[in-house]
Amino acid sequence: MLPMGTIVTVCMLIGLLFAAPYAVSKKIKPLPDYLAWVIGSVVFAAGAWNTFWHGIRNLNNFWGLAALISGVFMMCTALYILRFQHLPQWLKSARPVVLICLLLSFALYAITIARL
């Protein structure tokens, strides 16, 4: 069985791979609805688990805070994949910052896992 940290890290990478191209170029066609729904739902579920299950329960240590923060960025990224056109303007304009923060979170998790 895979550790949950590895699963969450993979979900971060999937979220970045599917949300980042739309931030770079408007010419890229959006995903088909069913594929966006599956990918967005998986990324959102992993972010919710990271935030509400691990993060909130472990606020007194570094990895609990990292889980809380990265989980929020994952859920925002999932919303970019799922319902970008329906999001408020402030959340749309925050997309580059959210994606960069998620990339940094992914790097923290991936480097830590690689060192284990």
Query: How confident is the model over 41-99, as pLDDT tens digits?
Result: 999 999 999 999 999 999 999 999 999 999 999 999 999 999 888 999 999 999 999 99
Query: Tell me, what DSSP letter sits at residue 52?
Result: I
Over 90: is that where the pLDDT of 11 sits?
Answer: yes
pTM for the whole thing?
0.92
Whether the CA torsion 112, 103, 70, 48 is positive or negative: it is negative
CB-count burial class (<10 Å; 0-12, 13-18, 19+) for 79 = buried
Whether the CA torsion 57, 92, 107, 44 is positive or negative: it is positive
Q: Give the tokens for residue 102.
A: 């998620």
Query: How confident is the model over 92-101, as pLDDT tens digits?
Result: 999 999 999 9
With bands split at pLDDT 50, 70 and 90, how would you rate the model's confidence at 28?
confident
pLDDT value for 80: 93
Least confident of 22-26, 64-68, 69-73, 102-106: 22-26
CB-count burial class (<10 Å; 0-12, 13-18, 19+) for 87 = middle
